[in-house]
Amino acid sequence: MALFGGIEAGGTKFVCAVGTGPDDIRAEIRFPTTADAQETLGRAVAFFQEQEARQGRLDALGVASFGPVDPDPRSPTFGYITTTPKPGWAHTDVVGFLRQAFRIPVAFDTDVNGAALGEWRWGAAQGLDTFVYLTIGTGIGGGGMVNGALMHGLMHPEMGHMRLCHDRERDPFPGICPYHGDCWEGLASGPALQARWGQPGDALPPDHPAWSLEAHYIAQGVVNIVCVLSPQRVILGGGVMAVPGLLSQVRREVQALLNDYIQRPALTEAVEAYVVKPGLGGRAGVLGAIALAEGAWRAAV
């Protein structure tokens, strides 16, 4: 049986694991994403080398990475983290670094496409061919599958940067996105919550007006994704979504905004099965990286 290594390469921390799926994670490690890319990647390599010594050779690696990235295998910069503002990480050849150390197939995609694949393989998207995985946290990002394959296109989705209706009378906060000001991420990410209210989201009580506004923005983004993509399900992950009651508010607001225009029971009746939590919880990312590795291995054998 094949054995895989997965890296959830986040902008704050790396999570590396060895195993074959949610019921078979044999080792896991997490460490901070420092400003020294080579050093951070070197820690991942050291972990996998140590695991190979104990468990035998890995058959493939998967990386679900913060971005922007180049996920196009035909591109000369495939496997790079490209123009990220994160210090020390712009134009980093992640896949090249790992291939040099291991000489096995290395799959590489966005963190959210990785999580989406994990949810498709073992979580809340099993059996679907068109769905979206969103994370609402330090940033807002989205990935998913359309017609049974992960979304790439020109590059990869940047769902957090769509524009929403920003009612400046209700919410004069200008947004914090350095590129777009009040795009979705600029209005509704964790750091936007903190900047608007002067304290982090998890310090705001459940009845604080922050949450109805937050639910409104999250729902607007979800509605736009529903209109553009017609997903069969929308999975909402990320730290902000852990706030009690927020998911229910988002569902109500999605229905209110769509106003029964899309006549599908999933949206008119059973929205609690349509806008859902990740089936893998906070482990969607690293398990998605394992699923990416599995895919690269299947493609190679």
What is the nearest approach in angstroms of a second copy to the Cβ of residue 252?
16
- How near is the Cβ of 24 to a second copy at its closest, in Å? 30
Cα–Cα distances in Å, from 19 out to 3, 4, 235, 291? 6, 5, 24, 10
Instruction: Name the minimum Å distance from CB 262 to a second copy.
Output: 6
Supply the minimum distance, in Å, between the C-beta of residue 82 and a second copy: 7
CA distance 146 to 132: 9
Q: For residues 15 and 226, which CB has a smaller minimum distance to a second copy in the complex?
A: 226
Task: Report, in Å, the least distance between residue 219 CB and a second copy.
Answer: 10
Provide the minimum distance between the beta carbon of 164 and a second copy in the complex, in angstroms, as a whole number. Answer: 6
C-alpha to C-alpha distance for 140 and 268, rounded to whole angstroms = 26
Q: What are phi and psi of 138, to 5 degrees?
A: -55, -35
Which CB sits closer to a second copy, 156 or 283? 156
Give whichever of 5 and 175 is closer to a second copy, judged by the CB atom: 175
Q: How many CB atoms lie within 10 A of CB 62?
A: 31
Q: Which is nearer to a second copy, 129 or 272 (CB)?
A: 129
| 39 vs 272 by CB, closer to a second copy | 272
The smaller minimum CB distance to a second copy, of residues 8 and 253, is found at 253
User: Which residue ranges make up the site for a second copy (CB under 8 A)?
Assistant: 68, 82-83, 129-130, 142, 146-149, 151-166, 179-180, 182, 220, 223-232, 257-264, 266-267
